[in-house]
Structure 1
Amino acid sequence: GMKGGIAVVKHHDGFCLWPTATTTHSILSSSSENARKTNIPRDFARAARKLNMKYGFYVSPWDLSSKYWGEKDADGNYTDNYAKKVFFPQCVELAKYGADQFEMWFDGATGGDHAGYYGGEYGGKGTTGYRKIDNAQTFYDMPNLRDSIHALLPNVIMWGLGGEVRWIGNEAGYSGETCWSMGNAENGDENGWLWHPGESDAKATTGGWFWKKNEKVLSAERLFQMYLETVGRNATLILNLPPDVNGLVPEATAKRMAELGNMLRTRLGVDLARKAVITASEERVAGQHRNYSVRNMTDGKRDTYWATNDGTTKASITLTWAKPTTVRYVQLMEHIKLGQRVRSFTVETSEDGVNFTQRATNIATTTIGYKRIIPLNGSTQKSYDGEGYKVRAMRITINDSKACPLIENLSVY
């Protein structure tokens, strides 16, 4: 059920999984005849299109194999040889594998403690080959790279050094319960001036980013928890699935991903809000070509939304069911094209449609953003345990918003 994938086609070791003109350290130098015929970016893009999935490539700026990486001239200043002769041409080569790429993933690595072989010179710490750069934006000439790649790939997002998506601040699969799409790290910054949404990269296995013999796959429950704590907290999730020595995703990993997909479809697949009567304390006055009806939140469309009038930053939305309905989650989505606004909200349920009890009281129900999923029992670890809540009504109250709230979707599961 995932929507896309990113293939790691060059990591810090500098080995390129496509026939590049920038280095001999690539599949063209492999001892395997089959490997020399391989082109991972080309084949990954083709496979993604067949599956109607988004795709992109991870290309490491750091390159332990290149003599140009971290190179300095006689005056001790960094040269631009690596940016011009290696990194920029590699990004251009990858751009040619599809104008519909959704993300180009630049790690933030700037050298350091890892031992390397820059152009054949051993680079262990304390030796003359040890290299570390102090200004990645300048060394990689990122402003020019961004402009050039966007000319080729208008809709691509550049992660990390590209400055268009932020690392969420950990590699454990969670973002902050309060998570603004501006600023940095797990929580962002409500007053940040740059749109900088969070992306969480996490390992789906115990062996690390690269395949290890005897590694285990995390349980489906643990992966589902990651989903709730990233996608369900206004971030995106990238699960790392390392191929084995045969170039295949191990059978156990594939099986576990299928289990996770089934879990997502079972737990977050049947939207009970579609069967409810929905009302709100206020609806924005309709325009000539658009209305802001409360029903826009349950029509399944991305271009419609409910809104209050200007100046109204508090409101309530109520769902009622004709029969008692068992609920476990509520999902909210702001119309993010017009910014992130909600600062605080609460969720309540009612067994009789009259008396309401607040749920998830131990969760910080502050921000919503692109998507917020609230387990009503207040636990992302045991979110599906028990019988759920049998209710006749649910009420979402927006207590504070930076401007009139705009809610695109309200789902109940």
Structure 2
Amino acid sequence: MKKLLFFAAAYFFYTGLQAQKPAVNQPIPSPRQLAWQKMDYYFFVHFGPNTFTDLEWGKGTEPEDVFNPTNLDCGQWCRIAKAAGAKGIIITAKHHDGFCLWPSKYSTHTVAQSKWKDGKGDVLRELSDSCKKYGLKMGVYLSPWDRNHPQYGTPAYNDVFVNMMKEVVSNYGPFFEFWWDGANGEGPNGKKQVYDWQRFKQTMRSIAPNTVVFSDIGPDARWVGNEKGFAGDPDWNTLDTAGFTPGLGAPSQDTLNHGNVYGKVWIPAECDVSIRPGWFYHIEEDEKVKPPEELFQLYLKSVGRGANLLLNVPPDRNGVINAHDSAALVGFKALRDESFTKAIADKKFKAASSTYTIPLGRKQKINCIILQEDIATGQKIKAFTVQLLQNGKTVNELHGHTVGKKRILSFTATEADTFTVKIDDAKATPLLNEIAAYLIDEGLVEKE
């Protein structure tokens, strides 16, 4: 009997400990996805013939000499990205018009055929070198659609695209992200391409196993379902992809915006949005650059909902980022620094719990709380409640859905001496590994 009691006590002690550990909830992020999700925010750079023709989608018939930046300075792009707090730059190495910003062996519509630098120029080389110099990560957008290539619309084009992927990875990598656009229009022969997505994926896994690959449905990161820069609430990192393809065969935009609560594959959202109305530079949009306050709102609705923010900053015809964009970006960084550099409270946790209590030390105003879930073991939280307390009494109550990598809650400033975070519903035992509180400018509180 004593032995039975001993083993019973040992069992309950052990299971009690297990209950305090965050249960692994499949699916979980791969190491490359986890590293990518920690980046939060980086630049998109749309640059090419469209910069000089004022088009958004080039026709593929533009003469190569159209592309002629007078003073390309990728170092300036990187300096501005660093000053803006961005972690990397993804460039449109080949947009739908088919023009390659590097001297590709697999196309005759490239910088090598242009008069820029007498055909000796290479934008990808200059950006790759600058990113290394300034400590930024580099990514590449390579559109499968090619409105110029004569083999587009035939099986042979899949070989061309695979060779181009191998070419840029081997010559300019490593990349933190490789971007596949889902657009699938006609080529110069009037035919649409049947993309061999499985082969494309296998190629990337083989030549760049640490690179996150983006499309509407991943395989590593997904389009968020809009080009306005906001993720859904809730925002799940999981998605069901069986039976879907990038482009027209993708899930609904609403599904992409929110993910699937019980999705079978870990494919987090990336929010792409331009700092200007268009994606490529147009001089008439110089006065329409999004101001710092609007960029901050985009940050709250992307990074603040657990997604990554991909902010497009297009260089002008000189090959530099315009002063209007630069000023807005530096102002955006200043707002983030002013808001999040000094925390009123910041507490880290190692044990899972259903309720977390954060004392503020004294009664003081807060209007922003940041929650971070331990996504390395999966995304679990489905609903939570934040209670702000004063002398033990609730003075404000907030309700939320998902947390994920990061959840930024902003609200009307409230005086409190303590607040609690209660997990109301979860798929498995969750762990909030960090909770912080701030007082930000009231004008920056998230707007509908």
Question: Gaps spanning 5+ residues in structure 1: where?
Answer: 72-79, 119-128, 134-138, 275-294, 298-304, 309-314, 378-387
Structure 1 partner of 2:405: 370
Question: Deviations 1:330-354 (Å, cap 9, x if unpaired)?
Answer: 11111111100001001121233x1
Deviation at 1:98, TM superposition (A): 4.7
Question: Gaps spanning 5+ residues in structure 2: where?
Answer: 1-84, 240-254, 439-448
Distance 2:265 2:327 in 1: 40
Structure 2 partner of 1:15: 99
Deviation at 1:44, TM superposition (A): 1.6
Structure 2 partner of 1:311: none
Q: Do the aligned partners of residues 99 and 13 (structure 1) sit closer, same or farther apart at CA in structure 2, a change above 3 Å counting?
A: closer
Specify the code of the residue in structure 2 equivalent to 1:108. G
Specify the code of the residue in structure 2 equivalent to 1:391. A
Pick from 166, 179, 190 the counterpart of residue 130 of structure 1. Answer: 190
Q: Do the aligned partners of residues 97 and 262 (structure 1) sit closer, same or farther apart at CA in structure 2, a change above 3 Å counting?
A: farther
Distance 2:147 2:397 in 1: 52
2:401 counterpart SS class: coil
Task: Give RMSD over aligned pairs.
Answer: 1.8
Q: How does 1:213-232 map onto structure 2 within 5 Å? A: 213-215=283-285, 216-232=288-304
Structure 1 partner of 2:45: none
Question: Deviations 1:116-148 (Å, cap 9, x if unpaired)?
Answer: 6x1xxxxxxxxxx43334xxxxx3322222222
Deviation at 1:45, TM superposition (A): 2.0
Pick from 297, 306, 325 the counterpart of residue 351 of structure 2. Answer: 306
Pick from 218, 226, 229 the counterpart of residue 170 of structure 1. Answer: 226
**How many residues were matched structurally?**
336
Structure 2 partner of 1:283: none
Distance 1:152 1:238 in 2: 24
**TM-score using structure 1 length:** 0.77
Q: Do the aligned partners of residues 246 and 156 (structure 1) sit closer, same or farther apart at CA in structure 2, a change above 3 Å counting?
A: same
Contact (CA 8 Å) 2:236, 2:402: kept in 1 or not?
yes
Specify the code of the residue in structure 2 equivalent to 1:163. P
Structure 1 partner of 2:183: 109
Distance 1:4 1:333 in 2: 22
Distance 2:222 2:328 in 1: 28
Structure 2 partner of 1:288: none
Contact (CA 8 Å) 2:152, 2:192: kept in 1 or not?
no
Q: Do the aligned partners of residues 376 and 306 (structure 1) sit closer, same or farther apart at CA in structure 2, a change above 3 Å counting?
A: farther
Distance 1:8 1:306 in 2: 44
Distance 1:357 1:152 in 2: 56
1:101 counterpart SS class: coil
Structure 1 partner of 2:393: 355
Q: How does 1:117-196 map onto structure 2 within 5 Å? A: 118=188, 129-133=189-193, 139-160=194-215, 162-183=218-239, 184-196=255-267
Q: Do the aligned partners of residues 57 and 82 (structure 1) sit closer, same or farther apart at CA in structure 2, a change above 3 Å counting?
A: same
2:416 counterpart SS class: strand
Structure 2 partner of 1:320: 359
Deviation at 1:97, TM superposition (A): 3.6
Contact (CA 8 Å) 1:14, 1:64: kept in 2 or not?
yes
Specify the code of the residue in structure 2 equivalent to 1:404. T
> 45-54 or 242-251, which moves further after superposition?
45-54
2:270 counterpart SS class: strand
Deviation at 1:360, TM superposition (A): 4.2
2:415 counterpart SS class: strand
Specify the code of the residue in structure 1 equivalent to 2:238. M
Distance 2:396 2:221 in 1: 34
Distance 2:405 2:332 in 1: 22
Structure 1 partner of 2:145: 62
Contact (CA 8 Å) 2:396, 2:414: kept in 1 or not?
no
Deviation at 1:13, TM superposition (A): 0.2
Question: Deviations 1:201-259 (Å, cap 9, x if unpaired)?
Answer: 111112x1111122020111111111100111111111111111111110110111011
Asked whether 1:341 is paired with 2:375, we answer no
Distance 1:408 1:392 in 2: 21
Deviation at 1:151, TM superposition (A): 2.3
Structure 1 partner of 2:279: 209
1:92 counterpart SS class: helix
2:364 counterpart SS class: strand
1:9 counterpart SS class: strand
Distance 1:253 1:29 in 2: 31
Q: Do the aligned partners of residues 359 and 217 (structure 1) sit closer, same or farther apart at CA in structure 2, a change above 3 Å counting?
A: farther
Structure 2 partner of 1:76: none
Structure 1 partner of 2:163: 89
Distance 1:68 1:56 in 2: 26
Distance 1:325 1:5 in 2: 40
Question: Deviations 1:157-212 (Å, cap 9, x if unpaired)?
Answer: 11116532111100011111101111241111111101111111111112x11111
Contact (CA 8 Å) 1:334, 1:409: kept in 2 or not?
yes
Asked whether 1:53 is paired with 2:130, we answer no
Specify the code of the residue in structure 1 equivalent to 2:116. S
